[in-house]
Amino acid sequence: MRNLILVGPMGAGKSTIGRLLAKELRLHFKDSDKEIEQRTGADIPWIFDVEGEQGFREREQSMIAELCGLSGVVIATGGGVVLKAENRRELHAGGRVIYLHASVEQQLERTSRDRNRPLLRNAEPEKVLSALMEIRDPLYREIADVIVETDERPPRMVVQEIIDRI
The binding site consists of 11-16, 33, 57, 79, 117, 136, 153
**How many CA atoms lie within 13 Å of 166's alpha carbon, on the beta-carbon side?**
22
Nearer to ligand S3P among residue 133 and residue 162 (C-beta): 133
With beta carbons less than 8 A apart as the criterion, state whether 35 and 58 touch: no
With beta carbons less than 8 A apart as the criterion, state whether 6 and 18 touch: yes
Phi then psi dihedrals of residue 8, to 5 deg: 145, 175
CA distances from 164 to 25, 49, 159 (A): 12, 41, 9
Q: Which of 30, 59, 88, 117 binds ligand S3P (CB under 6 A)?
A: 117
What is the number of the residue whose Cβ is closest to ligand S3P?
78
Cross-sheet strand order for the sheet of 28-31? 28-31, 73-76, 3-7, 95-101, 146-149
Give the nearest distance from C-beta 8 to ligand S3P in angstroms: 7
Q: Which of 7, 17, 20, 44 binds ligand S3P (CB under 6 A)?
A: 44
Stretch that binds ligand S3P, among 21-29, 72-80, 101-109, 156-164 (CB under 6 A): 72-80
Q: Which of 78, 94, 95, 125 binds ligand S3P (CB under 6 A)?
A: 78
- Per CB under 6 A, residues contacting ligand S3P are 10, 14, 33, 44, 78-80, 117-119
